[in-house]
Copies of this chain bind each other. A is one copy, B any other.
Amino acid sequence: MSLTVVGSVAFDSVETPAAKRDRMLGGAATHFALAASFFDDVHVVGVVGDDFTAEHESVLTSHKIDIADIERVEGGKTFFWAGRYHDNMNSRDTLDTQLNVFETFEPKLSEASKNAETLFLANIVPAIQLGVLEQCEKATFTAVDSMDLWINIAKEDLLKVIAKVDCIILNDEEIEMLTGKGTIVSAAQALLDLGPSIVVAKQGKYGAGVITKEGSFWLPAYPLHEVADPTGAGDSFAGGFVGYLAAHPERPITLEVLRRAMAYGSAVASFNVEEFGTDRVSRLTGPEVVARVKELAAITQFDDTTQVDLRR
């Protein structure tokens, strides 16, 4: 089995109150692929300039991630983003965005990428997502991410994408913005009516929830003593979540399987933010992920069977 991700490969410069790092390997497809590589063969479809070196390639290929569909534009420069996080690490300012070769990105999918059973459309122009969806007819599970920018300027295209995918993964505030609903439950139910059978609401440092017609499941983020760099946490989460589902191909997907997918996504994401860029997830091991999933279970579960005498 295999999993194709289409999205940005980038260089990120990140400032936090504690430190600063320049031009680290980043981008949604990069963080997603590293997380998903715990679960399945991953093909990355993206574009880079000739500033993307063998060293950058090896971050992906050392985890058996297929980079044949990362197009290299000679004389071009890779997508660059710079940002600064505020004190509590939950909000940030973008200092610089240079789309470079990503501005004219036209995903070119090999047969291997087209034939993947699982497809993840990372956050890019909805019209491009739509084109990729049409090329990947064999995918039995498709998921999409997006952002407020596309809700504001390309909502119609985005709704076409949403109508075709099995799963949408968005920040909770974006789900509310997209649907005009005031609670995440009512907003998610509005999205379920548009086509997807699974809605994932990312809640930043607070965790995430998954909502289906069968019910919902909510998981707090793993509580870290220190956060070095939140960049890519959402993509790592999506990579672990979608990767887990790719590796468990029984369909339809039950809420029971979704719960565990959420836990694995959340575990990988919690490692991602412990260090800058891809540093931590690059050297992360399976047993570490499994141990953190067990910790997540331990700090979120309680015994509801104890008899309590209520006076009213």
Contact = CB atoms under 8 A, between A and B. Distances in A.
Interface of A: 17, 37-40, 63-64, 87-89, 173, 176, 182-186, 189, 203, 206-207, 209, 215-220, 223-227, 244, 247, 256, 259-260, 262-264, 284-286, 289-290, 293-294, 296-304, 306, 308-312
A223 B227 contact: no
B226 A183 contact: yes
A55 to B, nearest CB: 20
B299 A293 contact: no
Nearest to A304: B297
A289 B309 CA distance: 11
Q: Copies per complex?
A: 2
Contact of A38 (B176, B302, B310): B310
A211 to B, nearest CB: 8
B215 A299 contact: yes
Nearest to A87: B182
A89 B176 CA distance: 12
A185 B225 contact: yes
B312 A285 contact: yes
A286 B217 CA distance: 24
Given A218-B223, A308-B244, A312-B285, A300 B303 contact: no
Contacts of A40: 311
A223 B244 contact: no
Contact of A206 (B17, B206, B216): B206
B225 A310 contact: no
Contacts of A259: 301-303
A76 B185 CA distance: 44
